[in-house]
Copies of this chain bind each other. A is one copy, B any other.
Amino acid sequence: MKLVSFDVWNTLLDISVMLDELAVSIAKIGGICIIDVVDAIMTARNEVKRRRRNLEGDPDRALEESIELLADILDVRPEVVRRATAMAVLNVEEGIVIPGAEEALRGVKEMGMKVSVTGNVMFWPGSYTRLLLERFGLLRYVDVTFFSDEVRAYKPMREMFEMPLREFGVKAGEAMHVGDTYAEDFEGAINAGMWAAWINPDAKEIRKRGERGFEIPSVDRVVDVLKSIG
């Protein structure tokens, strides 16, 4: 294996910590009851995820689409959502880092492989996610990052998985993608010809899943998978 590509949300960083912070910020700026904001975020999130699973989202407006959807449901200007994401990024704390994330990244680097972060965006731009990875000391292990608003493609689109491969001239069969969302991460990577590790917290142990697939209970176990392949 020459390259490992990591999803971000619920793989390296905890999405619920960020969404809680976002809800608080929107409630504050928009003067809206927080229960309604949390509801709206969940509704918008499910809709965006559904569109992407079906490859219905416009890759050119991956971020704008999600912001507008949320703003529409809340009946506020998109600017309220934009400002709230800035506030949330400033206020989130260290607890956002998934246990084992740093060990996973460091472990892969120490095995001499290239590390990519390959992430979809929703509500806030990839640049904010990059900032959080830097702030909490994870970006130092990362060679390259691809976020859907910057590269205008999203997982499970094949092009998205091919970007880190092209960057380092690596073949799909020499690379593994790790992530928690079955359709976006696992199926997407397998369909692109890569190896894939699906993080499933309900799994008790590492399990094989098809020819090039694995199920792992937590992100740090990717190192064991990589060692077992050799």
CB of A144 closer than 8 Å to a CB of B: yes
Asked if A86 and B131 make an inter-chain contact with CB atoms under 8 angstroms apart, the answer reads yes
CB-CB < 8 A to A135: which residues of B? 86, 90
A49 at the interface (CB under 8 A from B): no
Residue-wise, chain A 115-155 has the 8 Å CB interface mask toward B (1 for contact) of: 00000000011011011001100010001110000100000
Q: For the complex, count residues of A whose C-beta is within 8 A of B.
A: 23
Q: Can you tell how many copies of this chain the complex includes? A: 2
Asked if residues A130 and B82 are in contact (CB atoms below 8 Å), the reply is: yes
Nearest residue, chain B, Cβ from A132? B86
Q: Which residue of B lies closest to A150 (CB)?
A: B64
Query: Is A83 an interface position by the 8 A CB rule?
Result: yes
CA distance A77 to B144 in the complex (A): 9
Chain A 80-106 per-residue mask, 1 if CB under 8 angstroms from chain B, else 0: 001101110110000000000000000
28 contacts between A and B (CB under 8 A): A64-B150, A77-B144, A79-B143, A79-B144, A79-B145, A82-B127, A82-B130, A82-B145, A83-B130, A83-B134, A83-B139, A85-B127, A86-B127, A86-B130, A86-B131, A86-B134, A86-B135, A86-B139, A89-B131, A90-B131, A90-B134, A90-B135, A124-B127, A125-B127, A127-B127, A127-B128, A128-B131, A131-B131
